[in-house]
Structure 1
Amino acid sequence: MTRPEPPVLVIGEALTDILCGPDGSRGARPGGSPANVALGLARLDHLVRLATRVGQDDNGRALLRHLLGSGVQLTDGSVVPGPSPTATAMLDEHGSATYTFDLHWDIAPSTLELVPGHLHTGSIATALSPGAPRVAAAVRAARTVSTVSYDPNLRPSLLGGAEAERPRVEAFVAASDVVKASQEDLAWLYPRRRPEEVAAGWAAAGPSLVVLTRGSASTGVFWRAGRCEVLVPAVPVVDTVGAGDAFMAGLLSGLLAAGLLGGLSAGTDATPRTRLRAATATRRLDATVAAALARANLVAALTCGRPGADPPTLAELAAHQAAVLP
C-alpha cells in the first residue's frame, strides 16, 4: 500500500489502562482513545504523528515503547515531566469495561502550527481543559487544509451534564468530514432521542459520513443521501477494550487508501473532501466506503479477540482475510 503524505496527525490522550477483571485480576496496558487510533493506523502502514502528553515515569516509558515500536511518531512537546495519566478499566464477565481516570490534559502550543494530511481527534482531548480549547483551535486551522475526523468517545465521569456538553460535541461534529460515535455516546448526550435519529441529523447537517457503532449489533451508517446497516462479524471476545478505537483506525485506513481523506490542494476540484462528498451523494452506499467499513469491522473484531487495545498489523489483517477466503 502507498503511504499517504503528509502524515496523519492524531491529537489526544495517551494513557495507561489498568485492567481489573471480575475475578480480581489486575494488569496494566498502554491505551488512550486517540493514541489507540494512532497505533492502529501505524500498524496498518500509515504514517502517523501523535500530539499527546506522556510523563517521564515507568508508565510513560512503556507508552513510548508501545507507540514508537509500532511506528507512531510523537510531535514536539509530547513528553513532559511528571507522571503519565491512567485509566482504570473495570471489566465485567462479558469483557465490557467501565472507566475511572487520573490525568491532566494539555498539548504543546506548537501543535497548532502543524499541517496535517488528515487530522483525527476525540474523547478526553476535546473535552478536558486546559487542552481542549487548543484542540478545537487546531481543528479549525486544519479544516482549511485537510480533512478531519472525530470520535466523541464520551467519558461522563470527567464531564458536566449532557446539556452542557452538547454544544461542544456538536461544534466538533460540524467541523468534521467523518464522525464515529457509539450508541452509548448518543444515548448519554441525547437521552430523549434515538441514537439513529441523532446520527442521521448529524449527517444531514455536517459530516459527509457518520457511523454509529452498537457493540456486537449491526453498525449504522449515515450519509447525506441515505443510510444503511452493516453486519458485524461474530468473533470470540476476550474483551472490548480499544474496540471502538480499532474500528476508527480501520475506517480511516480504508478511506485514506481510497483517496477519500487527505490534504486539500488549493485550486484543485478533485480533493479528498470533494471525492468523499461525491461518494456520499447517492442513496446507494459507495463501494469504496463499504470496503472501508468492512475493514473497520474486521480490525475491531480482531482487536476484541485479544486482551487490551492491541489492534492488528496490516500483515495480520491480510493473513486473516486470506484464511477466510474460499
Structure 2
Amino acid sequence: MDEHAVTGDAGNDRVLVVGEALIDRVRDADGDVVEHVGGSPANVAVGLARLDQRVDFATRLGPDARGTRIADHLTRHGVSLLSTTVGEQSTSVAEAHLDAAGAAEYTFDLHWDLPHVEVPAGTTHVHTGSIAAILEPGARSVAAALRDAHEQATVSYDPNIRPDIMGDLDVVRGHVEELVALSDVVKASEDDLLLLYPGSAVSDVLRRWGALGPALVVVTRGPDGVVFGLSTTGEVASAPTLAQAVVDTVGAGDSFMAGLLSGLASAGLTGAEGRKRLADATLAGVRPAIDRALACAAATVARAGAYAPSLDEL
C-alpha cells in the first residue's frame, strides 16, 4: 500500500448513489453480441461497496430480465436498491456496434423517469453524475435529492459528459454548473473539461468551479495522473498515476471516484460534520484520499472490464 494511503475505518458511513444502471450491449464486426451491466453511477456504487462502504442505490430498472440481471449484479456486490427501483418502462440499453478496426458507434434506448428519492436515514454522503444528472425527467429528482440531503450529508458529482446523449453542450454546461454548486466534491476528467470549456486551462476550470461552492475539485488526466484543488485556499497540486500496466481503461474513472469517496470518508471529511473539516482541509489532508483513488484506478486498468478492487487489494 502507498505510504499516503488511508487506513481509517469508514464503517459508520452510509452512502446514497443516485443515477443510471443499464445494459451495455456490444456487437462486433462479425455480429456476435455480448451484454454486461454498465452505467457510471452503478459502477461507483459497486466500487464503494467493494471498499466496505454501506451503499444505497437510487436508480430505475424495467420489469424485465435485463432489470433483474442488473439488480442481481448490484445486490451480489453488497449494494442495497431503494424500493422505487423498478418502473414500468424497459431497462435502459446502450448498444455499441464495433467495426473491423474496433471503433464503436453507439445507439441508446434510455428511460430515466426517476421518481422522488427519499434519502435514507443515516446517509452521510450522496453521489451522482453522468447521464442521470442531465437527462429529464429524472434529472429533476436527482437535483432535488442533492438539495434534500444537504443538511445531513456531503455531496459529490461527476459530470461524465456524453454529448450524443446529453445534447447541446452550451445548455449542458449550465446544468453542470448548477450541480457543481450543490456539491462539496467534484471529480471530472480532462476530456469532460475539453468538451465543456474548449480552450480553457485546467487551472481556470478549477477556479471557476471552486468559486461555485465545492471544497475539493479533482481532474483526472489518464496516464498523466490527476490535478486537484482546494477552493478555500486556492491551492492546487498534482499526483502521478499509479498504473503499472494497462489492459483497458473501462470503468477507471468510476473506480477512481469510489476510491476518492472511500478515502474522504476514512479521513472524516464526509457527512454534515465532515463538511467544515473538508472546507478547512490542507492539500496534505486530502492527499491520502487522492492516493486511494489512484490505487483503485490502477487496479481497475490492470484487468479487463470495469473491475472494482477491494481494500485488501490496495
| C-alpha contact 2:243 2:302 (8 A) present in aligned 1 | no
Alignment CA distance shift 1:130-1:63 (3 Å): same
- Deviation string for 1:1-58 (max 9, x for gaps)? 6444451000000111224568876422211111111100000000000000112322
Q: Which residue of structure 2 aligns with residue 303 of structure 1? A: 300
User: SS in structure 1 opposite 2:228?
Assistant: strand
Alignment CA distance shift 1:29-1:218 (3 Å): same
- TM alignment of 1:151-300, pairs within 5 A: 151-224=158-231, 225=233, 226-262=235-271, 264=272, 271-280=273-282, 285-286=283-284, 288-300=285-297
- TM alignment of 1:73-92, pairs within 5 A: 73-89=80-96
For residues 93 and 200 of structure 1, the distance between their equivalents in structure 2, rounded to whole angstroms, comes to 43
For residues 42 and 5 of structure 1, the distance between their equivalents in structure 2, rounded to whole angstroms, comes to 13
Offset, 1:122: 0.7
Alignment CA distance shift 1:240-1:90 (3 Å): farther
Q: In the alignment, does 2:129 pair up with 1:127? A: no
For residues 98 and 207 of structure 1, the distance between their equivalents in structure 2, rounded to whole angstroms, comes to 35
Alignment CA distance shift 1:212-1:113 (3 Å): closer
Unaligned 5+ residue runs, structure 2?
1-7
| C-alpha contact 2:19 2:132 (8 A) present in aligned 1 | yes
Offset, 1:184: 1.0
C-alpha RMSD over aligned residues: 2.4
Matched letter for residue 156 of structure 2: S
For residues 255 and 180 of structure 1, the distance between their equivalents in structure 2, rounded to whole angstroms, comes to 13
TM-score, reference length from structure 2: 0.89
Percent identity reads 49
Farther-moved stretch of structure 1 (138-147 vs 308-317): 308-317
- Deviation string for 1:72-108 (max 9, x for gaps)? 0001111234421122346799999775422111223
For residues 294 and 3 of structure 1, the distance between their equivalents in structure 2, rounded to whole angstroms, comes to 16
Matched letter for residue 160 of structure 1: G
Q: Which residue of structure 2 aligns with residue 71 of structure 1? A: 78
For residues 220 and 82 of structure 2, the distance between their equivalents in structure 1, rounded to whole angstroms, comes to 30
TM-score, reference length from structure 1: 0.86
Offset, 1:158: 1.2
In the comparison of the two structures, how many residue pairs are matched?
304
User: SS in structure 2 opposite 1:13?
Assistant: coil
Matched letter for residue 251 of structure 1: L
Farther-moved stretch of structure 1 (165-174 vs 24-33): 24-33
Alignment CA distance shift 1:113-1:218 (3 Å): closer
